[in-house]
Amino acid sequence: MRIVVVGVGEVGGHLVATLAKDGHRVVAVDHDSSVLELATEHADIQTVCGHGAILPVLRSAGVAHSDLVVAVTASDEVNLLACVAAKQLGVKQAIARVVNRSYYEEEGGVAHDVIGVDLLINPQVLAAMELHRVIRSFGALETENLADNRVEVVDLLVREKTRYLGKQLRDMSIPPGALIAAIVRDGRMLIPHGGDHVELNDHLWLIGAIDTIPRIETMFGMTREERAERVMIIGGGEIGLEVARRLERDGVELSIIEKDMSRCRELAAELKDSLVLCGDGTNRGMLVEEEVSSVDAFLAVTRSDEANIMASLLAKAQGAKRAMALVHRGDYLRAAQGVGLDVAVSPRRSAANYILAHVRSKQVYRVVQVENGKAEILEVHVPGRARILGRTLMYVDVPRGSLIACVVRGSRVFVPRGTDEVVSGDVVVVFTVPEVREEVLRLFRDPREEAAPS
């Protein structure tokens, strides 16, 4: 595909590098020439320096004969105008990053077909939804829901010694409807088979029916009865408020600390069942006074990555059970977990996952990155004439490094066997390494579309 990315900040820079790595022809547009120079050092791309919403600049970027425009600058208005202009110039699809929810009516982090723009993505809401999911799955480091909340993906750290440690997977009673898709051990990722085993401190990537996953978690020392009951949030911006709204609906005891007095008044008016405090969440004395040691989950979601990491470390040192930080900069993500944080969430990654899903295939609805891109979990909707149809899976050439983890058919969620078939209308959850992603997706495409002239 030929893709134009307008805005090469944290989101745009990550997209440009990933899309170029995937083999797409990428044109990056930004008004800052130094940003473009840096982008070319890490990816084989074309660049255009200029305002991304101006018609001559978009023409110079070749929008008229491009497949997709992604506008991810810091300005909602520039992103919307760039996408509307690109559609007028003839681009096939346009995606805009939009933070202000006044521009659309949907409650979630994405909206479709607004003022002619194919997709609006709100990274802040997506990040808030991810933090909320992590709190709901209290023992997991990361959790995602797929297939309209019928399938759950969980990154579980094995903290407890159980009788299943050291036992081969084939000898475990893994509940039907779920599986261990990957084991990450000492930074190395393994796609397991029956002869592999689980060790203490392994990261287990679990995929399966949303009601079945807790049974596997229990096998390795986690129970969903450990759900967070008391939560403290530092930072009352849009992300903090969005998380708080969702936690209030869950009936969680919540306190939120915000520096700005006027913002505290707004929060108090919005959050009827939460305690709103005006103060500095990075101040140890205040955290001790507010009994941070008794909270089940601590979230630092200010605009400063450094403040979020420091506040979370302070909370963890004072006895908070779990500490989570919002981290905007990509190079801070791995470092944040390396210094002792339980979870680091990136709005950039949340937004990029949605955009990459739309780029990679018409049938791919969601992409979940595993270990910062070492592998991916794809939610694929099977069309009527896909290559995979009409054969049992034992006769399907599924590429090495990938597996069909589970199938959703109506209300049924199951882990397929070799004697099963995928049928049109199924939702299939696939685990794959990036190197064979295109081979995997080819199984779910109509051969006639690929043969048709462009």
Taking Cα atoms as reference points, which of 356, 303, 296 lies closest to residue 321?
296
pLDDT tens digits for range 437-447: 889 999 998 87
Amino acid 363: pLDDT: 67
CA 299 to CA 240: how far, in whole Å? Answer: 8
Mean pLDDT in residue range 122-140: 78
Res. 421: pLDDT tops 90: yes
Residue 342 binned pLDDT confidence (cut-offs 50, 70, 90): confident
DSSP string, 93-151: EEEEE---GGG---SSSEEEEETTEEEEE-HHHHHHHHHHHHHHSTTEEEEEEETTTTE
DSSP 399: P
Mean pLDDT in residue range 154-158: 85
Amino acid 454: pLDDT: 44
Q: Which two tokens stand for residue 62?
A: 């070749």
Res. 395: pLDDT tops 90: yes
Cβ distance 60 to 87 under 8 Å? no
Cβ distance 319 to 291 under 8 Å? no
Res. 308: pLDDT tops 70: yes
b/e 283-316 (16+ beta carbons within 10 angstroms → b): eeebbeebebeebbbbbbbbeebebbbbbbbbbb
pLDDT tens digits for range 215-265: 888 888 776 555 678 999 999 998 999 999 989 888 889 999 999 999 999
CA 384 to CA 28: how far, in whole Å? Answer: 36
Tell me what the pLDDT averaged over the chain comes to.
87
Amino acid 36: pLDDT: 94
Amino acid 108: pLDDT: 67
Taking Cα atoms as reference points, which of 439, 441, 388 lies closest to residue 416?
388
pLDDT tens digits for range 320-331: 988 899 988 767
Res. 365: pLDDT tops 80: no
Structural domains in the chain, CATH included, are 2-121 (3.40.50.720), 139-225 (3.30.70.1450), 227-347 (3.40.50.720), 350-451 (3.30.70.1450)
Res. 84: pLDDT tops 90: yes
Amino acid 291: pLDDT: 92
DSSP string, 163-178: TTTT-BGGGS-PPTTE
Axis crossing angle, helix 10-21 with helix 330-338, rounded to the nearest 10: 90
Residue 137 binned pLDDT confidence (cut-offs 50, 70, 90): low
Taking Cα atoms as reference points, which of 143, 102, 145 lies closest to residue 120?
102
b/e 13-34 (16+ beta carbons within 10 angstroms → b): bbbbbbbbebebbbbbbbbeee
Mean pLDDT in residue range 153-166: 85
Mean pLDDT in residue range 270-286: 91
Res. 346: pLDDT tops 70: yes
Mean pLDDT in residue range 49-62: 95
Amino acid 360: pLDDT: 64
Mean pLDDT in residue range 17-32: 91
Taking Cα atoms as reference points, which of 116, 118, 82, 123 lies closest to residue 362?
118
Mean pLDDT in residue range 23-52: 93
- Amino acid (1-letter code) at residue 113: D
Residue 453 binned pLDDT confidence (cut-offs 50, 70, 90): very low
